[in-house]
Amino acid sequence: MLTLKGKSVFPGITIGPLALFHRNTISTAQRPIQDAEAEVARFQDARKVAIEQLKDLYEKALEKVGEEQAAVFEVHQMMLDDDDYIDSIEGQIRDEMLNAEAAVDRTAQQFAEMFRSMDDAYMQARAADVLDISRRVEQQLCGGPGVDFSKYDHVIIAADDLAPSETLQLDTDKILGFVTSAGSTNSHTAILARTLGIAAVVSTDTPLHTDVDGMMAIIDGLTGTVYINPDEETLQAMEAKQREEADRKRRLEEVRGAASETKDGRSVKIFANIGNPGNIPQVLDNDAEGIGLFRSEFLYLENSDYPTEDQQFEAYKKTAEALGGKTVVIRTLDIGADKQVDYFQLDKEENPAMGMRAIRICLTRPELFKTQLRALLRASAFGKIAIMFPMIISVDEVKQCKAILAGVRAELDAEGVAYDKDMEVGIMVETPAAAIMSDELAKEVDFFSIGSNDLTQYTLAIDRQQTKLDAFFDAHHPAVLRLIQQTVENGHKAGIWVGICGELGADLTLTEAFLRMGVDELSVSPPLVLPLREKVRSLDLRK
């Protein structure tokens, strides 16, 4: 038996035969050319076909996983349109008389190495993206067929790594799971696998070869362990664990429609986090009581220019109406950091997570901010919308936001446009500054939503996407928990409700602690709503 240890992407347990993932061979060897312009034309034709393929993949992803996850294929299209990328390839063809395949491959390796050498983990992960788009172009230049995904039927796929486009094309009704020697839990591939519900373990650091092809394998997504050719004892133990997981899923159905309340009567609202209206079916299917975090930046990420007021209004209105009177907390624009948009023309920053992002952009570009606020206010007439400002660090910022909002309200009043005059306005507490100043900030707003991901990152001074620092990262660090408790206490003293919308909200080992702190609402990824409700209902805070 071979036992591999990696990082779990999705907490499922699956058992089945192992199948090595085979990509068709692509030749990128250098060969002499006679006509550089004809070779440039070959490259351009292949690039255009690749872009059309990515557009098709985007539409497929939009249907299967929603806008937020589909956006990776828009990013890939933009990378293929990047002037530096194109100039590098065409320059090598013309200046060195390189064939297009070799020029694309050389440029891909150069760009990938550039990304790998960056300090930022998000940018390091882009190395896989540039290799993915380049392989797509090379495939077109070689004229060969792509990967035949239909032959992977009821198997566990083993690969060095899977590109996002490859993961999306896996038939989730047939694929049992996958294991990769490379990869990261922050990669687009991992995010897609989680969204699609594919049991997977990545980063095992152990390449697999033909000698294990066809062997029985087990993925334990609960522990990040892979067993290949398991002995009888291990197989029986994992089959029992698999049955326990199936029983657990059946038990979850018993809490569907039940109150999110402890045995001693302590209630908490369990909301869902979503990235776009395409995720609404998941919210409803998983019985969330509302939406605690609607990330509005998808409207900006999917556009080639600033979205209009009406575009935004339609998206917010659709969401509010679909929730049928349940609360929808919409976070205003949070572009910047790991979400860059070319047409914003933001300056390059050494540390974008601490630079021009979120509310800082809105306050320095008030017309942009007003457009979004107008759309939000208009949509509030069609459901229960609440507005939430991100990345707040001071009372003055909140007052500036409220002043701009008041001006927009006055404009709508003058135009006779209906909106919810009692709409709640809150802030995200995701900086230590906001947590420490929460007693003063609470006087200005109707609610707090604690963004635990950034709060942890900024409190510990550790980039949450920098996997090399995992040994130092502690999401349960006492400093983080103290800031959360302080925020809850200060919010309640001012008579406002306090929620958590970051990953800690879904951490079942902290649920009891959060309820004892007095947290009023927990907002999590839709598939985690029922497990969280089950946990809440199992607690008795009198003990």
Query: How many Å apart are CA 110 and CA 99, to the nearest integer?
Result: 17
- The reply, when asked if residue 251 is annotated as ligand binding, is no
Token pair for 183? 């990869």
Active-site entry in 76, 362, 401, 501: 501
Active-site entry in 188, 362, 477, 492: 188
- The reply, when asked if residue 464 is annotated as ligand binding, is yes
188 catalytic? Reply is yes
Query: How many Å apart are CA 43 and CA 100, to the nearest integer?
Result: 6
Sign of the C-alpha dihedral, residues 474, 476, 478, 482? positive
Query: How many Å apart are CA 510 and CA 515, to the nearest integer?
Result: 9
- The reply, when asked if residue 453 is annotated as ligand binding, is yes
- The reply, when asked if residue 266 is annotated as ligand binding, is no
Q: How far is C-alpha 46 from the geometric centre of its chain's CA atoms?
A: 30
Dihedral in degrees, nearest 10, Cα atoms 60, 61, 63, 64: 110
- The reply, when asked if residue 331 is annotated as ligand binding, is yes
401 catalytic? Reply is no
Cβ within 8 Å of residue 424, ≥6 positions away: 386, 387, 446, 447
Cβ within 8 Å of residue 119, ≥6 positions away: none
- The reply, when asked if residue 23 is annotated as ligand binding, is no
Q: Are 136 and 165 in contact, with CB atoms under 8 Å apart?
A: yes
Query: How many Å apart are CA 454 and CA 463, to the nearest integer?
Result: 9
Quote the Cα angle for 325-328-330, to 5°: 150
Residue bearing tokens 């990509």: 23
Active site residues: 188, 501
Binding residues: 295, 331, 430, 453-454, 464
Binding residues for phosphoenolpyruvate: 295, 331, 453-454, 464
Binding residues for Mg(2+): 430, 454
